[in-house]
Amino acid sequence: MQKVTDNVYVESEISVCNTSVVVTKEGVVVIDTPMVPANAKKVAADIAKFGPVRYVINSEPHTDHIAGNCYFGGLVVTHDGTRNALLKAKPEDITGMLQMMAPDSLPLDKEFRFRPSDITFSERLALYLGDHSFHLIHMPGHTPYSLAVYVPEERIVFTSDNINLGMPVFRDALPDKWLETLTQLEELDVDKVVPGHGEVTDKSCFSQMSKNVRGWIDAVADAIDKGMNLEEAIEEVPKAEMFADMPKEGPAAGFLRMNIERIYRYLKK
């Protein structure tokens, strides 16, 4: 695990999303859990050396952030909407992805289950542990139920996939709320930013991400203004300059189409 501040460590290599740990005097808080069972067990064992797990926070309802919960102790804390997703999720929901990423992990072991939240909230929740405070703030955008975890004592925020320095994923996104969330993130007094995936960064990522999300929305809005239907938009929008470097085939091209479709339907509503 990479040490990020005095008491924060982040695992980005074997967890599909970033799994983070904040070490306090009274135990540790884990943010997001690895999807591959063997990796979740390994990370749980690594974390044990910092102390007992008191809370596990899931920053969003997507399976790559929640599936490893059952391998960790402590109480699971999420947005209300993420608890609903955990209750509905079935092991079959991850077997397809595991087949591609980690076929050795199938069949899933008997311990595996989608472990639901013990504590939920809708707008804000503060947890206090040792000398640390954890401010969980509902920040819809990448999903309707995404949250940020702000830990002022470490001058750090964990943003979920609202920050993703690769391609933003709009599958369940609320595009206009995403822009509001990025403005809200700008106001936090932090030095370090831990995105949902990829390298730990700093505040400069907020304006960069806003520009990116805004670019996607504007490109689709432009197609709508020109009177294009969804099929035409899916055909034409990728020709915009901002998408010039994106592959036109393979999984990335699939995400590109999915994003355009989601934004198109959202803006049309």
Q: Minimal distance in Å, beta carbon 175 to Zn ion? A: 15
Give the nearer residue to Zn ion in terms of CB position, either 166 or 247: 166
Smallest separation, CB 161 to Zn ion (Å):
4
Least separation in angstroms between residue 236's CB and Zn ion is 27
60, 161 contact by CB (below 8 A): yes
Alpha-carbon span 151 to 21, nearest angstrom: 11
Structure tokens at 161: 């996939």
CB of 62 to Zn ion, least distance (A): 3
CA distance 247 to 187: 35
Of 11 and 161, nearer to Zn ion (C-beta) is 161
Residue among 62 and 132 whose Cβ is closer to Zn ion? 62
Nearest CB to Zn ion, comparing residues 154 and 161:
161
CB of 197 to Zn ion, least distance (A): 8
Residue 59 CB, shortest distance to Zn ion, in Å, is 9
- The least CB distance from residue 201 to Zn ion, in Å, is 17
Closer to Zn ion by CB, 86 or 223: give it.
86
The pair of three-digit structure tokens given for residue 166, joined into one six-digit string:
């690769």
Which positions lie near Zn ion, rule CB under 5 A? 62, 161
214/189 Cα distance (integer angstroms) = 24
Distance CA 256, CA 224 (A): 17
Residue nearest to Zn ion (CB): 62
Closer residue to Zn ion (CB): 68 or 154: 68
The 8-class DSSP code of residue 124 comes to E
Task: Compare residues 22 and 169 and give the one whose CB is closer to Zn ion.
Answer: 169
CA distance 111 to 239: 47
- Sequence-ordered strand ranges (E) for the chain: 2-5, 8-11, 19-24, 27-31, 53-57, 75-79, 119-121, 124-129, 132-138, 147-151, 156-158, 192-194
Nearer to Zn ion, 32 or 161 (CB): 161
* In the complex, minimum distance from the CB of residue 244 to Zn ion, in angstroms, rounded to a whole number: 25
Alpha carbons within 13 angstroms on the beta-carbon side of residue 227 total 0
Tokens of 117: 């939240």
| 77 φ/ψ angles, rounded to the nearest 5 degrees | -120, 125
Residue 88 neighbours by CB under 8 Å, 6+ apart: none
Residue 255: which H helix or E strand, with range?
helix 250-268
